[in-house]
């Protein structure tokens, strides 16, 4: 009887945990907040994180496939936003990556050394050294003006490091939008990395304990592309 009760309690805790995660399911451009999964690849993962660094699920989430997803036209320099179902609440950095599709964005699975980073948001440290993470429901940024025109996958990644490694495994919350960039520049995005492979799990920003002697932070992954025209 006692164990049945604790099993029910454990299952209830699990259920509320999984329903309480977050997922970037809406895209905004030109002042329009589009419906859930319009221009964003749907997935089969609900709002659970991806934790296996070696899995192709780290690209666009579990079961993500763009073949039935529309692609939105966005001019270089334009603002865009990703909005999650509930505000991000696990401490950790946020990054935005892109990959140029060889043809239509909807047909590209993101394989190869094709990914570059356009944004990192790490913590700020106040004068006493206390970290504050930018946890939000909507993250807004601009397509680099130097980015060449064409079809791209636009990928948002929040890395939750609230349960310090190795007792806790860092969690990736990922979604991919499909965009056609127009009016672009002559830049050559770099460095290019593969996903998986972009993070090997030894980075200080991956293994750090944010509750212990935490005074500086470097977001894992490649350097952010400087966004210069060639």
Which residues pair with residue 79 across a beta bridge? 142
Segment near Cu ion (CB under 5 A); pick from 16-24, 35-43, 175-183, 195-203: 16-24
Q: Please report the DSSP string for 108-156 in residue order.
A: ----SS-EEEEEEE--EE-TT--EE----SEEEEE--TTSPSEEEEEEE
Phi, psi at 5, each rounded to 5°: -65, -45
- Nearest-approach distance from CB 197 to ligand NAG, in angstroms: 18
Which one of Cu ion, ligand NAG, none is in contact with 22 (Cβ closer than 5 to 8 A by kind)? none
Of all residues in the shown chain, the one whose CB is closest to ligand NAG is 204
The single residue listed with the structure tokens 């970290």 is: 131
- Nearest-approach distance from CB 106 to ligand NAG, in angstroms: 7
- Nearest-approach distance from CB 173 to Cu ion, in angstroms: 9
- Nearest-approach distance from CB 41 to ligand NAG, in angstroms: 8
Residue closer to ligand NAG, measured from CB, 141 or 214: 214
Contact residues: ligand NAG, CB under 6 A: 65-67, 108-109, 204-205, 208, 216-218
Size of the site for Cu ion (CB under 5 A): 1
Site for Cu ion, rule CB under 5 A: 21
């Amino acid at each position: 009887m006692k164990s049945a009760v604790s099993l029910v309690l454990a299952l209830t805790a699990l259920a509320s945990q999984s329903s309480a995660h977050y997922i970037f399911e809406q895209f905004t451009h030109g002042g329009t907040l589009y419906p859930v999964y319009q221009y964003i690849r749907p997935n089969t993962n609900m709002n659970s994180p991806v934790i296996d660094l070696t899995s192709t699920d780290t690209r666009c989430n579990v079961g993500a496939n763009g073949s039935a997803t529309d692609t939105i036209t966005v001019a270089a320099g334009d603002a865009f936003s990703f909005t999650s179902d509930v505000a991000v609440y696990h401490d950790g950095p946020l990054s935005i990556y892109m990959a140029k599709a060889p043809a239509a964005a909807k047909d590209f699975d993101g394989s190869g050394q094709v990914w570059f980073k356009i944004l990192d948001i790490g913590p700020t440290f106040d004068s006493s050294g206390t970290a504050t993470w930018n946890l939000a429901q909507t993250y807004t940024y601009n397509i680099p003006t130097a980015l060449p025109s064409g079809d791209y996958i636009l990928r948002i990644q929040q890395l939750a490091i609230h349960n310090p490694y190795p007792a806790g495994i860092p969690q990736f919350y990922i979604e991919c939008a499909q965009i056609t960039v127009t009016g672009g520049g002559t830049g050559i995005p770099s460095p290019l990395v593969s996903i998986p492979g972009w993070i090997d799990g030894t980075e200080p920003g991956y293994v750090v304990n944010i509750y212990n002697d935490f005074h500086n932070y470097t977001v894992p992954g490649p350097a952010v592309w400087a966004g210069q025209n060639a």
